[in-house]
């Protein structure tokens, strides 16, 4: 008998992501490297999931597959109820633009565009009217506390401020899920905690977040932590169980 669908405190119950037996093998000079082996993972709408593990365990490879930046060698990936392995390149690009928000360790802001233009850029590929783009960008910048820096260039911002802009860029398209790859990796501890507080706030407002991190301090901000080792899931822990010391 199947277990009932998990419902989160945000009223979630709908699956955003489902991975079934995902494997990723890289071939170099006739040598096989198994980056991921038999990954099973479900993320429900409204969850905050961290993917943790040591360097080289497959965390970033898994996030690339979740973000449709890479394809698995074997296995099935269902995003919002749709299988993605059969999508062509244009369809994958469209889904990345509309349904997935990316937050990168290195911010990936464009240096000769100001803050407003950086956040607006993904929306321009949708053919969205200028007035709607402006409203969405202003709302996103307000949410991350960067509206007062809208006309500044990235070089005029601190690392923590640049990451806030990157979060705003990911948010403004109203994605189904935010994928964060080591979002605190290039920040000092104070700014790292500030960014994590922001992600927790967004989660509290209903955002679905999947975050890769090697730092257990930041993994604990999530409701659930999936531990990888050598390309396999070795633990899948709920925050409540961790805090109670029952795992």
For 195-227, b where at least 16 C-beta lie within 10 A, e where not — what string?
A: bbebbbebbeeebbbbbbbeeeebbbbbbbbbb
Residue range 181-215, pLDDT digits in tens: 999 999 998 999 999 999 999 999 999 999 999 88
Averaged over 19-23, what is the pLDDT?
96
18: CB partners within 8 A, 6+ apart: 41, 42, 43, 76, 77, 78
Write down the CATH number for the domain with range 45-69+87-244.
3.40.50.300
> pLDDT higher for 245 or 199?
199
Q: What is the DSSP letter of 158?
A: -
Q: Return phi, psi of residue 97, to 5°.
A: -70, -35
- In the chain, the largest separation of any two C-alpha atoms, in whole Å, equals 57
- Residue 68 phi/psi, 5-degree rounding, is 60, 25
Q: Which two tokens stand for residue 169?
A: 């860029």
Predicted confidence band at 126 (pLDDT cuts at 50, 70, 90)? confident
d(CA 80, CA 105): 26
Report whether pLDDT(246) > 50. no
pLDDT at 109 over 50: yes
- pLDDT attached to residue 243: 55
The secondary structure of residue 5, as a DSSP letter, is P
- Band (pLDDT 50/70/90 cuts) for residue 245 is low
How far is the C-alpha of 225 from the C-alpha of 222, rounded, in Å?
7
């Amino acid at each position: 008998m199947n277990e009932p669908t998990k419902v989160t405190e945000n009223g979630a119950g709908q699956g955003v992501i489902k991975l079934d037996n995902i494997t990723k093998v890289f071939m170099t000079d006739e040598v096989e490297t198994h980056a991921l082996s038999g990954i099973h993972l479900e993320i429900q709408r409204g969850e905050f999931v961290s993917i943790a593990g040591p360097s080289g365990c497959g965390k970033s490879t898994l996030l690339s597959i979740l973000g449709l930046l890479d394809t698995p060698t074997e296995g099935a990936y269902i995003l919002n109820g749709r299988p993605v392995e059969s999508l062509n390149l244009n369809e994958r690009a469209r889904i990345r633009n509309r349904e997935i928000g990316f937050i990168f360790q290195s911010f990936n802001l464009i240096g000769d565009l100001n803050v407003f233009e950086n956040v607006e850029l993904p929306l321009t590929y949708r053919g969205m009217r200028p007035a709607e783009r402006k409203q969405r960008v202003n709302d996103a910048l307000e949410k991350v506390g960067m509206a007062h820096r809208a006309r500044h260039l990235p070089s005029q911002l601190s690392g923590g401020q640049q990451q806030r802009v990157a979060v705003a860029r990911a948010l403004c398209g109203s994605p189904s899920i935010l994928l964060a790859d080591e979002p605190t990796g290039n920040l000092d501890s104070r700014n790292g905690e500030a960014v994590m507080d922001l992600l927790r706030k967004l989660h509290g407002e209903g955002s679905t977040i999947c975050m890769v991190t090697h730092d257990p301090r930041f993994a604990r901000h999530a409701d659930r932590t999936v531990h990888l080792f050598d390309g396999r899931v070795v633990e899948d822990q709920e925050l409540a169980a961790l805090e109670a010391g029952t795992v």
